[in-house]
């Protein structure tokens, strides 16, 4: 765990200075395994048998990979659907807190 923290700190320092990143530093920055970094469409620089990454490329990859998350109710509104009542989508909190009540409702077939 200490190695991951130090790799993450080294990656943050190099990102700030623009120095090339190692495979382990990129993996720490992306919170993934080094083997996963190999499979990503991330430009790299090979120096002999060493693999290095430009921090600008890593940031560009992150920016390109970013997805916007839209709430289900908001998505429906954007598509012109009527508003959704949260009680229609999620079971009541009382049901979640009382397993016996949840089982009874499930057995009765009531939504």
| pLDDT value, residue 9 | 80
| pLDDT value, residue 76 | 65
Half-sphere exposure of 36 (CA within 13 A, CB side): 10
Cα-based torsion angle of the residue sequence 50, 56, 57, 63 in order, rounded to the nearest 10 degrees: 140
CA pair distance 96, 111, nearest whole angstrom = 13
| pLDDT value, residue 88 | 54
Walk along the chain (111 residues) and give the pLDDT tens digit of each residue: 456 567 778 777 777 787 899 999 999 989 999 999 999 999 999 999 999 999 999 999 988 888 766 565 566 666 676 665 555 555 555 555 666 766 776 666 655
Domain positions in the chain: 2-65, 72-108
Nearest alpha-carbon partner for 14 in 58, 45, 62: 58
| pLDDT value, residue 104 | 72
3-state secondary structure of 25: helix
Cβ atoms of residues 4 and 26 within 8 Å: no
- Tokens 């919170």 sit on residue: 31
| pLDDT value, residue 1 | 47
| pLDDT value, residue 94 | 57
3-state secondary structure of 111: coil
| pLDDT value, residue 95 | 54
How many secondary structure helices (H) and strands (E) does the chain include?
A: 8, 3
């Amino acid at each position: 765990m200490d190695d991951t923290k130090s790799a993450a700190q080294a990656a943050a320092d190099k990102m700030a200075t623009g120095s090339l990143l190692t495979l382990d530093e990129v993996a720490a920055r992306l919170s993934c395994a080094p083997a996963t970094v190999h499979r990503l469409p991330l430009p790299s620089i090979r120096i002999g048998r060493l693999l290095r990454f430009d921090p600008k490329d890593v940031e560009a990859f992150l920016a390109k990979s970013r997805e916007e998350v839209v709430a289900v109710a908001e998505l429906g509104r954007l598509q012109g659907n009527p508003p959704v009542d949260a009680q229609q989508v999620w079971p009541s909190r009382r049901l979640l807190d009382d397993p016996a009540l949840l089982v009874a409702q499930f057995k009765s077939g009531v939504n």
